[in-house]
Every structure is written in C-alpha cells, then in structure tokens.
Amino acid sequence: MVGILYIIIPILLILGLNTIPTIRNYIYQYLSEFLTAFGAIGLTLIDIMSDSDKIFVGDNTWEDSWGLLLIFFFIILLSAIVVSAKRNKHNLSLQEQVNQNKNLEREIELYHKEYYNLCSNNILYLFKGFFTSGNERISIYKHQGSHFTLLGRYAKNPSNNSQTTYEYKDNEGLIGKAWNEGELTINDAPKWVKNGREYKKFMRNNCNITDSRLGAIRMKSQSFYIRTLNDDNTSENPDGIIVFESISPTKISKEECRNLINDNEQAVLSLLQNMKSLTRKVQ
C-alpha cells in the first residue's frame, strides 16, 4: 500500500465520523487529545519508516519524504497545544464566571438578610406595645404575582422569630383568606397536641391549607388578626398583608390590632413600600 494512505485513511475516517452529531460533539470535546494522538502516531511511523525505500507517494520514498512529514506532524502537535490552550482559557473563563455568580448570590443573600432585619426592627419599634410576652408575633408580607413573600417579622421568643423562605399562594392559608376578604380574625383555635389532629381540622375548616404545611409551621398560633395593607397612592392595591398572631387562644383583639395599625398606618405603608422597592432591586 502506498505510504500516504496511512495518513489519508485515518483523516477520511475522522471526517466521516464527524458527520454523526453525537460523535462530532465527542470529537470537538476531545479535539486536542485526538490531534495529540494522531501526531504522536505519525512521528512514531516516521521514526520507523524514515530510512525505508518503499514508496510514500508518487516516485518519492519514505526516506525522501520524512522531512516534510516531520513538519506536518509537528504542525499537528502544535495545533493540539493551541486547541488545548484555548479550551483551558475557556474553562477558566467559565469558572471565573461561576465564581462571580456565587459571590453575587452570597451578596444578594446578605442584602436580603439585612433588609429582613431592617423590617423586623421597624415592626418592633412600631408595635412594641403588642409584645407583652414571648407568645406574640407580627409579620409583614409583600404580595408578588400570585404569592406572598415575607419581608420581616418580630417575636420576643427567638424560636418564633425565624425567617422563612416559604411563599404562600394568595389563596392559601389564613393569609390567602384574609387577602380575599380584606380582614380576618381567628380566636380559640385548638392547641396543637401530639400530631395536631384537632388543630389541623380547625384550620382546614377555616382556610385552604394542607396538613403537611401546618406541620411545617413552627409557631402553632391559636389566635390571629390578619389585614391587607392598602396604599391609595400606588397602583399596587392591596400592597401587602400584616399578620398578628399569638399562641394564646384569646390574646388577639380585633379592636386593639386595628388601633395599632391605624395609629401607625403611614409608617407601616411607608415601610412596606420601601421594603418592596429594596427587595425588588436584589431579586
């Protein structure tokens, strides 16, 4: 067989396989390795056949052609180095982008925590008189699309003061019911005992909520006052919702909560709008 066919046949084979999409993607992914292997095999072949008088192509023998072949396979190996360098640069660029995205995510998470703490501190400042024990909590949610996102909350008891990433749908739970009715008061809910059978039954009778969601709620409150927050100066109406709740079955008074909101209405609405604006910027 004419010597040049040792080079042409592998090239034609690779070109043929390159027409198959899955194999083409594999070849492109490992192109530098293919070029390195091809160049190394070629140099090995030259070393073996460099002094041979067998025909390589036309009237030229291997001995006549080994110099040009050496240059050809050297170019192949050089190409493999270039392809590998470009791929490594691309991978490095991707890794840098991944690192930047991770840093950005951490910064956004930090901003969310700071905004949450800011809103929670304002809740304490505005409604300090409501917190007579460790059994009460106030939360403010913003309405976004078809769900609610917690902006901030405060309770004297740290175990009831934890932040949640759960987003209630606007037809879910007591919050969803109050959203549709404008205002809601619940008292004398059963105490959660063992698996909370009576508590779950009571809540299911009063709103649309699942047992699994009730089980996940840390603070099993027995009295609630929930009201939408409306700012007539904005097109987003209602803008959000505020939740007064207590583990005590008789703590919540509609009149007291109404008075607390009315006395601080402008401050609450301003807080809600500012928090919505700030959190929107870091979404």
pLDDT of residue 117: 86
Residue 244's pLDDT band (cuts 50, 70, 90): very high
SS3 call for 55: strand
Predicted local confidence at residue 80, as pLDDT: 79
Q: Give the pLDDT band (50/70/90) at residue 197.
A: very high
Higher pLDDT, 55 or 167: 167
Query: 60 forms bridges with which residues in the sheet?
Result: 57
Q: What is the DSSP letter of 17?
A: H
**Can you give the pLDDT at residue 66?**
66
Rounded CA-CA distance 71/57 in Å is 16
Q: What average pLDDT score do residues 45-65 get?
A: 72
pLDDT classification of 234: cutoffs 50, 70, 90:
low
- In terms of pLDDT, which residue wins out, 10 or 40? 40
- Position 205 scores a pLDDT of 95
Structure tokens at 266: 């402008």
More confident call, 264 vs 99: 264
pLDDT reading at 23 higher than 60: yes
pLDDT at position 54 is 77
Percentage of the chain lying above the pLDDT 90 cut: 33
Pairing of strands 183-186, 168-169: unpaired
In the block, tokens 């910064």 appear at 107
Instruction: Kindly report, residue by residue over 89-144, the tens digit of the pLDDT.
Output: 777 777 777 777 777 777 767 777 888 888 889 999 899 989 988 899 999 998 88
Handedness of CA 261, 263, 265, 270 (dihedral sign): negative
**Cα–Cα nearest to 245, from 123, 147, 62, 125:** 123
pLDDT at 258 (0 to 100): 94
Q: How confident is the model at residue 49 (pLDDT cuts 50, 70, 90)?
A: confident
Taken as a whole, the chain contains a residue count of 283
Q: Are 120 and 128 in contact (CB under 8 A)?
A: no
The predicted pLDDT at position 196 comes to: 93
- 232/58 Cα distance (integer angstroms): 92
> Where does residue 67 rank: exposed (0-12), middle (13-18), buried (19+ CB within 10 A)?
exposed
